[in-house]
Structures are given as C-alpha cells and as structure tokens.
C-alpha cells in the first residue's frame, strides 16, 4: 500500500535566486518500509522530509500522505493531520526542558484530546519499550543525548502515527548511541511502523534501511532496495558486508 506519494514535486525557496531545492521529484513509499534518504549537505533531504510532514508546502507537484492530498488541506486541517497521523524526530531532540520525560511524551496525546489514563498507559508502555521507563520523572537536561532521542521517539509515537519521520536522528549522537537509535527504529519497523528518515551516514543507512533514496542537487540520483531485489552499488555492498562481520 502506498503511504507517501510525491508526484513531480518541486520546491524553490523565496530568495534562492530561482534555484530549486527539490527539482521534479517523484517517489512512492509503501507502508511498512524503512526508507533512508541520503545525499550530500544541501541536496534537499530536509526539504523533502518537511514537505512529507506538511511543515512546508511544495511550489510544484503534489504530496499525498495516507491518501490525503496535503495541498488541499487548510493550515488548520494540515496541523491537525500532522498531529494525528505523523510523528517527527529531529536531530537535536527538541524536548521541552521545563517538562519531565513523561510530560514531554504525553504532550501530543493531550493536544489530541486523548483521555489521561489511556494516554499515560501508552506513554509508559512506550518508555518501557524504548528502555527508559525509569527516567519518566526526570527532566531532559539530566539525560544523555541517546536517552533524549529515545524520549523524542516515544513522543513521536504516542499518537500511533501512520509514519515516523526523522531528520538526522543520529546526527547529534556518538557512534554507539547512533547505532542504538537505529536499532530501535529498525525494531519498531519490524513491528510494522513505517519509517522515513534522513541520514548522511552511509554505514547506518546500509545496515538498517530496506531502501536508500539518494538525492543530489534536489533530484533523485539513486533508489536502491536492500532486499536483494535490486543490486546495490558496489561501494554500499562492501560497507554492508563489513558491518555484518562480528
């Protein structure tokens, strides 16, 4: 089932001298996939993710998510759609420092109007699933980067999003914590969560993603499935084999 459908999508930012950040990108993402968007800095990765998230609007083409044409939604309905159907994880976690871990995770559920008891049960279940239940009453400033990103992932999942979007979720983490966060995302994906993430870490992408879409200068340069259906570029195969050795 197609969950995300970009059709000839372009984005030119005002004041960019007419240069397109995304240039005629068509891309489908199926439910259940873990897709990594890769590419050099400035290639349009965040732009693409923000268009799927409805954080920004394209200057050309159509973005459909979960069958909904985002371009046809008013700002208010788009905000509502985002809150109810999408989860977003950022590089720098974006937790609220004056709220506890549990309060941060509960926030989107409260905005959705979920009753307190089931929301709390769901939040605690997620914190346990992510291995940080004992941190529920702590404030974010006391946590490590890896722990903060787990909290952010729990917050993104509380409303059971159709798709989890993550922009460089390991970008602020060391190698060990980065791999742990990717392992978590892979585990969630195995349980059925669709994940679309941006990374410039080829090792993590080839190890954990089922599909890698590479952007260069705002265009899709390569689109590879790592399930054997399509051969990988040789450089990526080498990385994957090395990673799998103990």
Query: Can you tell me the distance from the alpha carbon of 123 to that of 44, in angstroms, rounded to the nearest whole number?
Result: 33
Structure tokens given for 30 = 């199926």
**CB nearer Mg ion, residue 34 or residue 38:** 38
**Shortest CB 196 distance to ligand ADP, Å:** 13
The secondary structure of 54-103, three-state, reads: CCCCCCEEEEEECCEEHHHCCHHHHHHHHHHHEEEECCCCCCCCCCCHHH
**Shortest CB 145 distance to ligand ADP, Å:** 20
Phi/psi at 19 (5° precision): -75, 130
Give which of Mg ion, ligand ADP, none residue 140 binds (C-beta under 5 to 8 Å, depending on kind). none
Query: Can you tell me the distance from the alpha carbon of 214 to that of 1, in angstroms, rounded to the nearest whole number?
Result: 22
Applying CB under 6 A, which part among 43-51, 82-90, 171-179, 182-190 lies near ligand ADP?
43-51
Q: How many residues bind Mg ion (CB under 5 A)?
A: 2
Residue selected from 43, 46, 193, 199 as contacting Mg ion according to rule CB under 5 A: 46
For residues 6 to 45, the per-residue mask of contacts with Mg ion, x marking binding by CB under 5 A and - elsewhere, is ---------------------------------------x
Residue 163 sits in the site that holds ligand ADP (CB under 6 A): no
**How far apart, in Å, do the first and last CA atoms of the chain sit?**
36
Considering only CA atoms, which of 124, 121, 142 is closest in space to residue 134?
Answer: 124
- Can you list the alpha helix ranges (DSSP code H) found in the chain? 45-52, 75-85, 101-112, 116-129, 145-157, 175-190, 202-208, 234-244
Residue 206 sits in the site that holds ligand ADP (CB under 6 A): no
**CB nearer ligand ADP, residue 4 or residue 109:** 4
Query: Can you tell me the distance from the alpha carbon of 92 to that of 112, in angstroms, rounded to the nearest whole number?
Result: 24
Question: Using CB under 6 A, which residues numbered 1 to 20 contact ligand ADP?
Answer: 13, 16
Give which of ligand ADP, Mg ion, none residue 44 binds (C-beta under 5 to 8 Å, depending on kind). ligand ADP
Q: Which residues in this chain contact ligand ADP in the complex, by CB under 6 A?
A: 13, 16, 21, 39, 41-47
Q: Which residues in this chain contact Mg ion in the complex, by CB under 5 A?
A: 45-46
């Amino acid at each position: 089932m197609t969950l995300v459908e970009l059709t000839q999508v372009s984005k030119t930012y005002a004041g960019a001298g007419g240069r397109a950040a995304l240039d005629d990108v068509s891309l489908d993402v199926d439910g259940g996939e873990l897709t990594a968007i890769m590419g050099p800095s400035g290639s349009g990765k965040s732009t693409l993710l923000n268009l799927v998230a409805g954080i920004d609007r394209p200057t050309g083409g159509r973005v459909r998510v979960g069958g909904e044409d985002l371009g046809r939604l008013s700002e208010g309905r788009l905000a509502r759609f985002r809150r109810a159907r999408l989860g977003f994880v950022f590089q720098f976690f974006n937790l609220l420092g004056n709220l506890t871990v549990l309060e941060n995770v509960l926030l989107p559920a409260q905005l959705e109007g979920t009753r307190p008891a089931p929301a709390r049960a769901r939040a605690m279940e997620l914190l346990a699933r992510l291995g940080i239940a004992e941190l529920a009453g702590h404030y974010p400033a006391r946590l490590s980067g890896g722990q903060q990103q787990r909290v952010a992932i729990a917050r993104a999942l509380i409303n059971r999003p159709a798709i989890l979007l993550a922009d460089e979720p390991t970008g602020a983490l060391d190698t060990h914590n980065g791999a742990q966060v990717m392992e978590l995302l892979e585990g969630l994906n195995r349980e059925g969560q669709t994940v679309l993430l941006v990374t410039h870490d080829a090792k993590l992408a080839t190890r954990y993603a089922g599909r890698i879409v590479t952007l260069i200068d705002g265009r899709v340069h390569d689109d590879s499935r790592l399930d054997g259906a399509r051969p990988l570029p040789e450089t990526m195969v080498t990385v994957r084999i090395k990673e799998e050795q103990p």
